[in-house]
Amino acid sequence: MPTLVVVGAGPIGAAVVHQAAGAGVATRIVLVDSAVDVARGLALDIRQSGAIAGQSTAVDGSDDTGAVVGAAMVVVADRHGAAGEWRGDDGLRLISTVRGLNPRALILCAGAHQTELVETMVCERDADPRWLAGSAPEALRGAVTALACLETGAAPADVSLAAIGRPPKDLFVPWEGASIGGSRAAAVLPPPVIARLDRQLPFLWPPGPLALAGAATRVARLALTRASGWVCLFLVPPPEHDMRVRGVAVPALVTGAGVRPLWPLLAPRDRVRLDSAIAG
């Protein structure tokens, strides 16, 4: 399996490395941060804990962004210290640097506040939309799934739903297309419960570091191990799609050819909400 690079040794980045190493999604993981002693210390701790659990993933720490050369996937996370998530001009420069060093790597923004990076890079700086996405919507999907499980007693594996739209205010769950235990979610959950879950959505954003890391790790598993499945990603629809105006969270396939949106079949009301979110 190939190399995974995580840029940022903050809580999200450290959790991504820990979870990805535990899941065995790569043979080598490099944690990059200008606070190199922190990055190396975290890498050593994760590697030692992996040895206890019988895991063999090599984990290293570095302050050299050049570590992205040859990597199959690069996760842009959060920096150690007060700087937090890669955002703004710093984030744009970082992604531009990564693209220059490794134009074929899938770049995944793991933070909850990095949607602007994805949108700006694709819409204004001509980044290939197949190789740049944000995974925070998948973390939100996990939160809604957990709430649905509490309401029904179902296991997470028995719940299938999506979070689509534009985070944070214009995200919604198309309940007509969701299922719980093989049945339509709208038939399992009473309308007042669905309405209550919808009202809770804005308060589930931003997801916490572990949930954000779990979402990024799921994408890494799909991208690096060629596993099958879909995730909810923030991406900009490719140029050939007539709705390419703004970035949007939609279900997506992650393959060796990058990410591809899976436009869901929506009830008329939900289609209007999605179109409005994309068009602004």
Look up the CATH number of the domain holding residue 32.
3.40.50.720
Q: Is residue 230 part of a domain?
A: no
pLDDT of residue 1: 60
The one-character DSSP state at 37 is: H
Q: Confidence band (pLDDT; 50, 70, 90) for 13? A: very high
Is beta strand 183-184 parallel, antiparallel or unpaired with respect to 179-180? antiparallel
Give the mean pLDDT of the chain.
94
Q: Is residue 204 part of a domain?
A: no
Q: Is residue 236 part of a domain?
A: no
Q: Is residue 112 part of a domain?
A: yes
Give the chain's domain count.
1
Q: Confidence band (pLDDT; 50, 70, 90) for 239? A: low
Cα 35 to Cα 84: distance, rounded to the nearest angstrom:
13
Mean pLDDT in residue range 168-179? 93
Q: Is residue 197 part of a domain?
A: no
Q: Is residue 182 part of a domain?
A: no
Contacts of 57 (CB under 8 A, 6+ apart): 20, 21, 24, 26, 27, 28, 29, 47, 50
Q: Is residue 68 part of a domain?
A: yes
Q: Is residue 175 part of a domain?
A: no
Where in the sequence is the domain holding 116, given as residue range(s)?
3-135
Is beta strand 248-255 parallel, antiparallel or unpaired with respect to 159-160? unpaired
175-221 pLDDT, tens digit each: 999 999 999 999 999 999 999 999 999 999 999 999 999 999 999 99
pLDDT of residue 275: 85
CA distances from 48 to 8, 32, 271 (A): 20, 18, 49
Cα 10 to Cα 33: distance, rounded to the nearest angstrom:
9
